[in-house]
Structure 1
Amino acid sequence: MENKEVFFIIGLGLIGGSFALDIKTKCENAVIYGIDNDEQHLHKALDLGIIDHKATFEDIALADWIIVAVPVDKTVVVLNDVLGKIHNNAIVFDVGSTKFEICEALKSHDKRRNFIATHPIAGTEFSGPEAALTNLFLEKTNIICEVEKTAFVFQEKALQLFKDIGMRIRYMDPLSHDKHIAYMSHLSHISSFMLGKTVIEEEKNQRDIFDMAGSGFESTVRLAKSSPAMWTPIFKQNKEQVVKALSEYIANLENFKTLLEEERLEDIYTTMQETNRIKEILIKK
């Protein structure tokens, strides 16, 4: 398209939809096509003005940019298909929460130079096109893995796009990414799901949960509203790192339980006081 920059968003949920909204705001010449295996998502994205047109994988050759925002178990298959269809100057990036398996699968692809492995550290517990938000990525970190494997000209263009929508950039190798994200994100989601499970199993009366749930419980269990369809494949792909993080977390819980059973209140106080350091770390954020 003359004077137009053509973006294809594959997966019109929270992340894909939010990218579309920001691109519409920042790129005056952008035309946005959407692909989603859920026809209702496509219609909703059109109705909400998130995308301009519906498309299929057969139309990929039209795209200057392709953003793959599907569950990580489908990402490798989709990326292989997409990279086989793009023109030579197209830029492809994914937004998945795991990176090692994706980078390994694509390392020998003929169009690897067109691909950027990214993980925007942004989101909410909601899903679907209705969850998309303008400025979701503002002042959020975008982790890029193996940037040296992407052609420099495509790096420059992608970094400018990320900068335009307000993102900070951090570079990391895929293994380090998956290790750190297991602690900082994946473990948090498991904790939230299991806290919710514990309360639901014990508190059979839904009215009791509704009436007695304070802000502490609500904030801690918020992530348990996240999509199981998205998170189950993430836990599978990052199984080794997640199991390690879980083992350390469970050991800390068991230790706290022992301190309480033995009424070692000074040790409990010291444990919590030492953990209060997290305030100093997060306040910088």
Structure 2
Amino acid sequence: MIQTVYIIGIGLIGGSLAKDIKKSRPDITIHGIDTSAQHLNEALELGIIDEKTTVEAIDKADLIILSTPVDAAVKLLPMLLDRVSDFGLVVDVGSTKSEICKVANAHAKRRNFLAMHPIAGTEFSGPKAAVANLFQQKTNIVCEIEKTAFKLQEKALNLFASLGMRMRYMHPESHDKHIAYMSHLSHISAFMLGKTVIEKEKNERDIFDMAGSGFESTVRLAKSSPAMWTPIFKQNKDNVIETLQEYISNLTHFKTLLESDDFEGVYKEMDETNYIKQILNGIQ
């Protein structure tokens, strides 16, 4: 039975997990660890965590949730596995899996680690961004589960399922390839759309006045934290480059259709892409 949860990184994901765990299992004590004293104090004031603690105390934890930027997670994981008790489990929630799984596989306590990626979030960060029920009906990708001790994985997955997550199992390399298309590319598109508009529309008031809901929803992800996303793009560089090449090819083709006044072709491209509605409706 999980009684003590230590969350390292009390931001959007870590904080939202804390909120939902407290709601689902009020008997669990949640300890917070963060490099930012301000974040820790905010999390305590908001009731997201019950106590502040340090990495040195994680041997007392039943479950350690590693919710830092992916570059920090890779560096922290060996130290956490060194310190975790035989009955404790370290879980990471980063959006790249290959690199951290390689690090875990080289450690003697690999059985005390579970790699997963709950696909949920917003463009905001920090403890104040934490929201309840963020993971309801969201997919949680779990990688290399066969390398985690059965009793440990069972306790953790039961807890996460109680938060409303749907479990799906995948190899780390497959996860990183698919997530490059489904998440990483959309963030790059939003950042670059925002950059294009800022460069061409020098008058900030014009942007504010003319930004409709379509622009706002499309560029929303450009408000995401560069400190979080730069390491993600670095760790998944090869897959991201591949997706960008395909995306740029499609953009170039669409531009060519416009230049040649082939509006029948323009219509066909959009009409065929409308099929995405059926796919997304099936997911919801």
Match of 2:92 in 1: 94
Alignment of 1:85-164 (within 5 A): 85-164=83-162
CA distance in 2, matches of 1:242, 1:225: 19
CA distance in 1, matches of 2:243, 2:129: 29
**What is the identity, as a one-letter code, of the residue corresponding to 1:259?**
L
SS of structure 1 residue aligned to 2:214: helix
Asked if 1:15 is matched to 2:13, the reply is yes
**What is the identity, as a one-letter code, of the residue corresponding to 1:216?**
G
Alignment of 1:60-71 (within 5 A): 60-71=58-69
Extract unaligned runs of 5+ from structure 2.
none
* Residues 219-258 of structure 1: CA deviation (Å, up to 9, x unaligned): 0000000000000000000000000000000000000000
After TM superposition, give the deviation of residue 4 of structure 1 in Å. Answer: 7.6
Overall identity of the aligned pairs, in %:
65
Match of 1:245 in 2: 243
CA distance in 1, matches of 2:249, 2:44: 48
CA distance in 2, matches of 1:57, 1:277: 48
Residues 4 and 257 of structure 1: CA distance in aligned 2, closer, same or farther (over 3 Å) = closer
Match of 2:192 in 1: 194
After TM superposition, give the deviation of residue 82 of structure 1 in Å. Answer: 0.8
Q: Cα RMSD between the aligned structures?
A: 0.9
Match of 2:57 in 1: 59
SS of structure 2 residue aligned to 1:282: helix
CA distance in 2, matches of 1:178, 1:15: 19
After TM superposition, give the deviation of residue 28 of structure 1 in Å. Answer: 2.4
1:221 alignment partner, one of 204, 219, 237: 219
Cα pair 1:91 1:115 within 8 Å, conserved: yes
TM-score, length basis structure 2: 0.98
Aligned length: 283
TM-score, length basis structure 1: 0.98
Extract unaligned runs of 5+ from structure 1.
none
Cα pair 2:2 2:155 within 8 Å, conserved: no
Cα pair 1:4 1:29 within 8 Å, conserved: no
SS of structure 2 residue aligned to 1:84: helix
Match of 1:174 in 2: 172
SS of structure 1 residue aligned to 2:142: strand
Cα pair 1:4 1:31 within 8 Å, conserved: no
CA distance in 2, matches of 1:4, 1:231: 31
**What is the identity, as a one-letter code, of the residue corresponding to 2:184?**
H
* Residues 95-129 of structure 1: CA deviation (Å, up to 9, x unaligned): 00000011011102111101100000000000000
